[in-house]
Amino acid sequence: MKNKVTLSTLEHMKAAGEKIAVLTAYDAGFARLAESAGVEVILVGDSLGMVVQGHDSTLPVTVEEMVYHTAMVNRGCSLPLLVADMPFMSHGTPRQALDSAGKLMKEGGAHMVKLEGGHAQVETVRHLTDRAVPVCAHLGLLPQSIHQLGGYKVQGRDSRSAERILKDAHELQQAGAQMLVLECVPEMLGREISLALDIPVIGIGAGRGCDGQVLVLHDMLGITPGKAPGFSKNFMADTGSVEAAMRAYVEAVHDGDFPAREHCFQ
């Protein structure tokens, strides 16, 4: 990757059938390595609450902490599109969401913000995008709703819930969302949504039919405490270094080798 990645870059990649490689990072050092490996998008995820801070969920993460980590990542890279998560309870109302997004972009340097939720977030997405805030939506498994969902479970396995997720995806796109992260849904649903939308759909446990893939850095390096998610792969096991693992991940995504069938839900 030699040129600055923009939303137009990602739209062209989707249109051309080129896969998009996304990886999380939480500081300047790993951001620098991710950029060198050729990722198109770096996500500063609220997953930092679990893999960096040691919490058992993403819920305790604050806007101030997200700004802090986003700013560090921003200082470590210049080419990837930089997306920052809006943490739990930071977007309860459109006005609150605009305030949170403003901090992430003005103080943290994010190019885009990501927020979880379907139909209930349509008004917020429209409020943000009407005010020049690029939004990445997030459907399927919503880690911020983990207590409501009753655990980390695959979503959209029955026809009713699958139809709801597809409908929400259309509504969010119409409201102005320019990218969608789709987490832990059956591979068939992931492909259907990716084909139905004009915007890039980035999968994490959503199958091979998505326009791109994202993994949490610590999962990809095999250093997440406890059992790794079934949709992830330890790329450092066969490479021996962080930089080589990142390059192997990017290459596997671009070539369509990751995810393999064993990383997908049916």
Active site residues: 183
Can you tell me the distance from the alpha carbon of 89 to that of 96, in angstroms, rounded to the nearest whole number?
A: 9
Contact by Cβ (8 Å): 141, 153:
yes
Looking at residue 77, the DSSP 8-state letter turns out to be: -
Can you tell me the distance from the alpha carbon of 227 to that of 112, in angstroms, rounded to the nearest whole number?
A: 31
Can you tell me the distance from the alpha carbon of 181 to that of 216, in angstroms, rounded to the nearest whole number?
A: 13
User: In the numeric block, which tokens belong to residue 215?
Assistant: 């993994």
CA angle at 146 for the pair 135 and 98, rounded to the nearest 5°: 25
Mapped to the 3 state alphabet, what secondary structure does 192-235 carry?
Answer: HHHHHCCCCEEEECCCCCCCEEEECHHHHCCCCCCCCCCCCCCC
The count of other CB atoms within 10 Å of the CB of residue 150 is 8
